[in-house]
Chain A
C-alpha cells in the first residue's frame, strides 16, 4: 500500500515514546496527589483543612505533631516502600526471566519473619514490648531490636542463597529453586518457634508479620530511601543489559554482558531492598508482583519506561492502600499488606482478562 510506504517510522516511534513519557508524568501527578491525601487521613479524624495547615506548622500543637510526626513518616514510608518493593519485583522478574518472581523469591521475607519471631518470642523484644516473657517484657523492647534481628536474618539468607548459587550455577531455575527451598526452611523454623511461644508472644509475633506503615520513623525512611534510590539508579543505568539478558543470555554474553555478575548484583540489591522494607514494616505482599506487570501493559517492556513506571506504580498502590486502610478502618488502620492485595488483585485480574495481547 502506498500509504504504508510513506509512513515515517522513526517519527512514529518518537511520538509513541512521548506518549509513554506523558503517561509516566500522569502517574507522577497521581502519586503527588495520593501523597497529600494520605497526609490528610488518619485515626484522629482531623478535618482536611486542619491537616493541611498542620503540615506547614500551623494550628494546634497536637495537630502539628500528628501530621508531622506520625502521618508524614508513615506517608513517606508508603511512598518509598511501595516504590522499593515494586522495583525489587521488577529486578527479580527481569533477571530471573520469570513473571512469577517477586521481591521475596530468594526467601528474604521468610527469613525476616523468622528473625522477628526470634526477637519477639525468643528475646521478648519488639515494638509491642510484649514478648514471650510476661515477667520481664521490657527486655529488648525496642522497635529497632526486632527490625535489626529481622534484617540480620534476611541479609544472611540472601548471602547464603547467593553463595550457594555462586558455587553451582546462576541459572534462573537454580536461583528460584534455592530461594523456595531456603524460604521453606525459614517458615518451618518459624512454625517450630511459634509452637513454643506463649499466647502473648505468639500474637505479638503474628501481628508483626502484618505489614504496618505506622511503625515507620524518619530514620527508617531515610535508610529505605538510600537503599531504594541506589537500587533504582543502578538498575536504570544497566537497563540495556537487562534488555539483552531478558532476550537471550547467550547473545547477551556475546554482546559483552557479564551475565553472572549482573545477576549477582541485581539479586543482591533487590533482596537488600526487600530485607530493609520487610524488617521495618513487616510483610507487604503483592506490590512487587503486580506493579511491574501493570506497567508492562501500560508502557511496554522497555526498561527505560518500565523502571520509572514501576517505581511510581508501587508508590501509588501503597499510598492508596494506606489511605483506604485508614478510611475503612474507622479509627484504626487495617493491615496495609492485606489492602494492597485486596485493591490490586481485582485490578490485576481485570488487566489479565480484559485486554488482548501485551504491549511491545
Chain B
C-alpha cells in the first residue's frame, strides 16, 4: 500500500511549484496510472515518491513515512525505473544484480544469484543473461530495468513511462508483464504513461494531473470523456467494442 498526503514540490532554482498538494492512495497489488500532458508533474511525482526530489507533505508505504527512513530502508520498500534508461556496459546478469545491492552490501551471495536468475526468468531474459546490456533493443533494455527492480524485491514498483520509445509489440509485452507481476506476485505499481488505451488496459486506479494539480483520482470510472477533456484539452469518448473498452479521440475543444 502506498499513500500520498498533500505532496507538493518546487523546482529548486526557479521556485516554480510543479506539484500542488497531491493526495492519493493505492491498495496492495494494485496498479495506479498517472495521466496528464507533458509538464503536468507525472515524473516529478514519481521522483518525489522515490526520494529523488525534495517535497513537502508525506509519502507512506505500509504506513511507514518514507521521508523519515534511511536510504537503505527505503530501498527495501520501493524500486524505481526511470524514463530515460541508462546502463553501463555490463552483462545483463550484472546489470540486474545491481538491484540486489541493498540486500548484499559488499558481495553477492548464492541467494542473490538465485534471486537474479528468478527475476531474469520472470521477464524471459535468461537467454540474454550473458549478453552486453548495451547491445539489446529498447524493449529488452526496458525488461532488464524491470528485472533489476524486481530483483530489488521491494513492495512498490515505480515506473516512469515504461512504454515510451517501444514498438507496439514490446509495449503490449511490457504491459502484460506488469499486470502479471501485480496480480500474481502482489507488487503495487505506480506508473506514468501517455497512451490512454494502454492505461485503460493496465490500470486499476487513475490519477489525472494538470499543471501539478490532481484533477481527478479514482477507479476505471474516472476515465471518462469529461475528465480526459479537462486534462488534455481534447474531445474523447469511451466506447465498448468486442467486449472491451476503448478511448476514441476526436475534435478540439
Contacts and interface: CB of A to CB of B under 8 A. Distances in A.
Given A244-B98, A360-B132, A302 B74 contact: no
A13 B86 contact: no
B80 A240 contact: no
Interface stretch (A133-141, A178-186, A196-204, A253-261): A253-261
Interface string B39-52: 00000000100111
Given A240-B97, A243-B90, 20 more contacts: A13-B91, A97-B88, A240-B101, A243-B94, A247-B86, A247-B88, A247-B98, A248-B86, A250-B47, A252-B101, A254-B51, A254-B75, A255-B102, A256-B71, A256-B72, A301-B89, A302-B90, A357-B135, A360-B90, A360-B135
A357 B131 CA distance: 12
Given A240-B108, A301-B89, A301-B90, A255 B75 contact: yes
Nearest 4 A-B pairs (CB), nearest first? A360-B132, A246-B88, A256-B72, A256-B75
Nearest to B105: A240
Interface of A: 4, 7, 9-10, 12-13, 16, 97, 237, 240-241, 243-244, 246-248, 250-258, 296, 300-302, 357-360
Q: Is the interface of A mostly helix, strand, loop or mixed?
A: helix
Given A10-B113, A13-B93, A255 B99 contact: yes
A241 B133 contact: no
Contacts of B104: 240
Contact of B126 (A9, A97, A256): A9
B205 interface: no
B127 interface: yes
Nearest to B104: A240
B107 A247 contact: no
B79 A247 contact: no
B148 A251 contact: yes
B80 A301 contact: no
B101 A256 contact: yes
Contact of A360 (B47, B50, B72, B89): B89
A246 B57 CA distance: 32
A358 B101 contact: no
A257 B99 CA distance: 11
B79 A254 contact: yes
B231 interface: no
**Most-contacted residue by chain A among B80, B82, B90 (CB, 10 A):** B90
25 contacts: A9-B127, A13-B93, A13-B129, A237-B106, A240-B98, A243-B90, A247-B86, A248-B86, A248-B87, A250-B50, A251-B80, A251-B148, A252-B98, A253-B51, A254-B74, A256-B74, A256-B102, A301-B90, A301-B94, A357-B135, A360-B89, A360-B90, A360-B91, A360-B92, A360-B134
A248 B102 contact: no
**Most-contacted residue by chain A among B75, B78, B101, B102 (CB, 10 A):** B101
Nearest to B53: A250
B107 A240 contact: yes
B130 interface: yes
A243 B88 contact: yes
A254 B50 contact: yes
Given A251-B80, A358-B132, A360-B131, A243 B98 contact: yes
Interface in B109-137: 113, 117, 126-127, 129-135
B129 A9 contact: yes
B206 to A, nearest CB: 24
Contacts of B86: 247-248
Contact of A257 (B47, B50, B71, B97): B71
B117 A254 contact: no
Contacts of A250: 47, 50, 52, 80, 82
A254 B47 CA distance: 10
B163 to A, nearest CB: 18
A359 B74 contact: no
A253 B52 contact: yes
B95 interface: yes
B130 A255 contact: no
B152 interface: yes
Nearest to B128: A9
Contact of B82 (A16, A243, A251, A296): A251
Contacts of B148: 251
Nearest to B90: A301
B24 to A, nearest CB: 20
Contacts of A300: 90-91
**Most-contacted residue by chain B among A250, A301, A359 (CB, 10 A):** A250
Contacts of A360: 89-92, 94, 130-135
A254 B78 contact: yes
A252 B100 CA distance: 11
**Most-contacted residue by chain B among A4, A252, A296, A301 (CB, 10 A):** A301
Contacts of B99: 255
A13 B70 CA distance: 34
Contacts of A301: 88-90, 94
Nearest to A242: B88
Interface in B135-179: 135, 148, 152
A346 B22 CA distance: 59
A265 to B, nearest CB: 15
Contacts of B71: 253, 256-258
